[in-house]
């Protein structure tokens, strides 16, 4: 099963990498559009991650965990809503909330008992955070 998760996680990372590098490949004229897509895709993924919590086994669920799951989903929605007017802010929110979700999941999910899953999530979160960090270079 971990092989499937690695493949799907890698496929899910492709848009992050693509939208981050397109401004350097195609030029600055595509930067705002590409970075907007990067922010929107991040908002969608954060919403998905937050909703995923509702499928965790009951022994890991309590009001605080469910509330935080909804909070991550709402942050994803806010990112999508604000991207047209506050692009840099939405990129910053993604940069902050992806690692926060990783820490939240690590401290609250039994899936982190699987070391392969833990490595996969750390790799994906680091790569996604790196994409947002690189995206800030377009604002210098």
DSSP codes joined into one string, 63-124 = HHHHHHHHHHHHHHHHHHHHTTT-HHHHHHHHHHHHHHHHHHHHHH-GGGGSHHHHHHHHHH
Q: Is the pLDDT assigned to residue 75 strictly greater than 80? A: yes
Contacts (Cβ under 8 Å, ≥6 apart) of 41:
15, 16, 19
pLDDT given for residue 22 in this prediction: 95
Mean confidence (pLDDT) of the chain? 93
Q: Is the pLDDT assigned to residue 76 strictly greater than 70? A: yes
Domain extent, residue 106, equals 2-139
pLDDT given for residue 64 in this prediction: 87
SS3 state of residue 61: coil
CB of 102 closer than 8 Å to CB of 122: yes
User: What pTM value is reported for the model?
Assistant: 0.93
The number of domains in the chain is 1
Q: Is the pLDDT assigned to residue 140 strictly greater than 80? A: no
Please report which confidence band the pLDDT of residue 60 belongs to, taking 50, 70 and 90 as the band edges: low
Q: Is the pLDDT assigned to residue 55 strictly greater than 90? A: no
Q: Residue length, the chain?
A: 140
pLDDT given for residue 50 in this prediction: 92
Distance, CA of 40 to CA of 104 (rounded, Å): 22
């Amino acid at each position: 099963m971990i092989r499937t998760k690695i493949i799907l996680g890698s496929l899910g990372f492709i848009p992050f990498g693509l939208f981050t590098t397109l401004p350097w490949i195609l030029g600055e004229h595509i930067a705002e559009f590409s970075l907007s897509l990067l922010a929107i895709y991040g908002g969608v993924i954060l919403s998905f991650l937050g909703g995923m919590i509702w499928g965790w086994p009951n022994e890991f669920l309590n009001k605080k965990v469910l509330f935080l799951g909804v909070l991550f989903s709402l942050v994803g929605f806010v990112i999508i809503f604000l991207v047209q007017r506050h692009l840099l802010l939405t990129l910053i929110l993604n940069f902050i909330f992806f690692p926060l979700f990783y820490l939240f999941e690590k401290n609250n999910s039994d899936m982190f008992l699987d070391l392969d899953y833990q490595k996969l999530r750390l790799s994906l979160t680091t790569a996604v955070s790196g994409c947002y960090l690189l995206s800030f270079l377009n604002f210098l």
